[in-house]
Structure 1
């Protein structure tokens, strides 16, 4: 839920210093045998362009921004930095579960999928890629199972709060939170406030527990002030059935049957608000890369103001609309008052032009009547031409009636005709 927060100069200095002190990470490694309790299998390579990429068309915005220079923390199940499309994009991060700096390890692919939607680079023969391919991923590992799902392991609030603070201290410009808690916690709320005060953009999933009857459970940290809550839509722009509805939904993004990377290699199809959230986080990274001087509050305002219309309204779980990376980067916002434009000049009367116009109008009327007359004449000729051959076939000849006889003239009476009966045929 997005609300205004004050920003201090000390917070800005702290954010700059922490970002400047971060050193490049060594190459990522896969999880050692036995490190994962129940690792998922790698996926097959996707060669087709996913629908969400055709819809969002990130290539349009890359001439203006690719996310370069922006650090996006992904608080999730870790991120496999050895995936072919993520190599060189992922730092070692942090693993508060084991107290180590190895957040670049993932057992279940959830965090790898989220990170790949943000920063996976293009590769020949692969249809899938990230929206901000030059952004840097800072992985914070808080779970060994899929977090935020109904059947997933719920992350500890203490670990979650520690992860948010660690992401801020590691110089994150954007924090992606595809992990959902369903109860308020003072530690988590304090950690969110810690990030907001240090000018970090926080983007969180609104959860996948929508109910047909009764209100949905309130998701945290999406419901906290200063956090952008993200719902999910499918390829038709319709909210997916499990995407939650509530005042904490600020914006929606593709999250129904989207393609993303699996750990180790390959890709899979995912669904849920967890995977809509990185679409918004990537767009925030594109904005911060294009205009580094914008505050987190201004980035949030840009995201919401440039969202595309949707078939529903905020009360139906759509927030302000569907995220649009191109508009978010290229359109500028202003708080200044509208500028009134001067009135249009009056058109001077031109007598000669009016006379010409009247003359052409007269010619037009005459031409219309002549055209109509010619059309009638042509129709008559055509009818006559059609009737004459028929009359000849019936031996019809045109004749003139004879003149009547003059008055007083005698008219020959028709002669009477008599028949004589033979005598032989008479009777007595």
Structure 2
């Protein structure tokens, strides 16, 4: 649904690692036992590269009672998932196929590369060309075309990082750093989940009849922009333009009221591993105090994330968020410049939670983008995440 995005007013974990420009405030310890499937015979990443994880995951009791407005194209997704699984041999399917009740694996997603936080599922590099096409067909069925393109652009950024060389560069790549996993039996009536992600990308798509959850969702890019094949690639342009455009449209008094004063942030607060369901206290400027044009910019920013679903489900979800707009707040901390280090922007509503931050790169000289989108009432298709 992002292709229908209305462009208004010209806008369309703290751990430092040598192997990556990513850091995160969501974890402060490193534990070899943090892998989400240590008990399984094919743990995260399907036995792929990696060792100890800086991300600690505490299993929570996910249910399937999330408050989705419906509209999911579940039958089409089921068909695509079944077709993908049918291409796998026994050993590959053992890596890719999980029980829906395997909550701890379902929670294993991160901004870090898979060499650092091993992922559940099977790596794209372990699939044949035809099998990768079948995997990509799953995402094409589930997501808006612009979101599918974004997946490719984020993965291309990993190839760019790999081309730079240096320590840790061999851990990046558009195939070996990205994994797909299926949880539960794909069904038009019973819950199942498709998980896809890797470095700077997490898609967690949970279906239950006509209900669907696309959160937690992480999109980021290192670098923010780069050249590939003679073309400038900006994987998170829609999100960054919308978020910074929303803040730039504030009057001075509004901007002062929108400042988040509870602390300063060097990364996301509700990123990987933050699945307790407890969100920070609401701060910032109530959207009810904005004029009509400014409210449109808030909706444009939300749509840059929530619009990643297939059309009907995405439109129904946006209707829900719009109905809650006057109970939503926007805020910023640290800086507000698109190229400034640690510029932090937040949208916080009864359901929607979006964070965006410019964080320091280690592999490239400039900032790069981290962002997370969560639905407080529907993460993992659950209304009670803990």
When normalised by structure 1's length, the TM-score is: 0.26
Q: Which has the higher contact order (CA 8 A, sep 6+)?
A: 2
When normalised by structure 2's length, the TM-score is: 0.28
* Bigger proportion of residues as strand: 2
